[in-house]
Structure 1
Amino acid sequence: MPAIPAPHASPSTPQGAVPAPDALMERLARAAASYYRDLAAAAATHGLTMAQAKMLILLRQPTPMRALAGLLACDASNITGLVDRLESRGLVSRHLDPGDRRIKNVVATEEGREAVRLVRADMRGTSAAFARLDDEGRRSLYELLGRLHPDETA
C-alpha cells in the first residue's frame, strides 16, 4: 500500500511538469497564509485586528454592510461591531444609500485610507516576496490572479 503524505506535506511537481490542481491549491494556500500572517502583524502595529484591516482594504468605494459580510465571509451581525470600532477611531463612516434608505453604506475616511497605506507599507514579508519578481513576473502574476476570479472587481 503506498504511503499517504502527511497533511502538511506539499504535493510535489517535477520541474517543467504541469502542476495538478492539488499542487496549485497548496501553493495558493501557502501564499495566502503567508500574506495573512504578514497582514495581521502589520495591522497589529497600527492597533488593528486582521478583520479590521481586511475591511479597510475592501473599502475602495462605498459598500453596503451586507456586502461587506459576504466579502469577509462572516455573519452580518459581526460587521456592525467591526464598523462600530473602526468608526469610533475615525477610520470609516456610515451613510444612508441614496437609492434605498434602508441600506447603510460604509465608507473609508481619509484616515482609513491612510491606515491602509501604512499597514501595506509595513507588510515587509509580502513586499520582499514581490521584490523577488521582475516587472514581467509581477505583470504575469497580476494577470493570472485576475483570471482565477474574473467576476471580482480589481
Structure 2
Amino acid sequence: MTSAASQHIQHFVRLIAADIKRYQQLLILVQRQKALYLSFDGSELSNNIKQQAPILDQLNRSSSERTQSMRALGLPCNSAGAEKIINALPSHIRTQVKVQWTQLESLVKQCHQYNQSNGQSSAAFHELISHIKQPVQHTYEERTL
C-alpha cells in the first residue's frame, strides 16, 4: 500500500470518530428542537438552530473529505466503499472501526428521523401562526362593510 493510500485510509478512519462526536452533539440539539417546537419557544428555538449550523457545516466538510479519500482510493462513495476500507484494516483495528461505522450510521439515521419530524413540526407551527394572523375567510365572524 502506498503512503498516499495509507494516509487516505487513516484520514477516513479519523473522520468517522470525529463525526460520531459531532452527530452525538447534533442529536441532542435536534431532540431539544422538537421540544422547543412543542413549547412554542421561538427565542430558544432560534438559538438551538444557530448552535446546529456550525456542526452541520463541519459534518458537510467531513463528508466531502471522506468522499475525496474514497475517490482517491478508487472506491465507490457509498457503504460498499466504506466496507472495503474497513475490511482492508489490520484485524486489531478493523473490529473497532466496524463498530464506529455502525454507530455513525445509526446516529445519522436518528438525526435524519428527528429532522424529518422537526420539519413537520415547523410546517405545522408556521401554519398555526398563519391562521392566527390571518383567520380563515369563511368563518362566521361579523364583517364590517
TM-score by length of 2: 0.26
Question: By percentage of residues, which structure has more strand?
Answer: 1
Question: By percentage of residues, which structure has more helix?
Answer: 2
Structure having greater relative contact order (Cα 8 Å, sep ≥ 6): 2
TM-score by length of 1: 0.25
